[in-house]
């Protein structure tokens, strides 16, 4: 299993393009400097009135298929 840890800060205005489906992917930089692309719909549960702000852990299988995304 692969784990990718990253910090994400997206304003509510920016998040609208993800939430509406206009932007299909988000590209994040992990704490190790690796760039990871993930489907934007995975971020929707973490959307608040102010946007998204927090540290996350993305877990994938050996083929980098999605397992889970958790706010830590």
Domains and CATH numbers, the chain: 2-71 (2.40.50)
Res 21 pLDDT > 80 = no
Of the candidates 39, 70, 43, the residue with the CA atom closest to the CA atom of residue 57: 70
Confidence of residue 15 (pLDDT cuts 50, 70, 90): confident
Q: Mean of the per-residue pLDDT values for the chain? A: 90
Per DSSP, helices labelled H in the chain are: 12-19
Cα(49)–Cα(58) distance, integer angstroms:
23
Res 20 pLDDT > 90 = no
Tell which wins on pLDDT, 55 or 41. Answer: 55
23 neighbors 40 (Cβ within 8 angstroms): yes
Res 51 pLDDT > 80 = yes
Res 3 pLDDT > 90 = yes
Cα(28)–Cα(35) distance, integer angstroms:
6
What percent of the chain stands above pLDDT 90? 64
């Amino acid at each position: 299993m692969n784990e990718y840890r990253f910090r994400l800060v997206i304003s509510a205005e920016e998040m609208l393009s993800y939430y509406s489906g206009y932007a299909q992917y988000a590209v994040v930089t992990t704490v190790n400097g690796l760039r990871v692309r993930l489907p934007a719909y995975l971020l929707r549960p973490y959307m608040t009135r102010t946007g998204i702000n927090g540290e996350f852990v993305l877990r994938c299988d050996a083929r980098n298929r999605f397992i889970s995304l958790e706010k830590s």
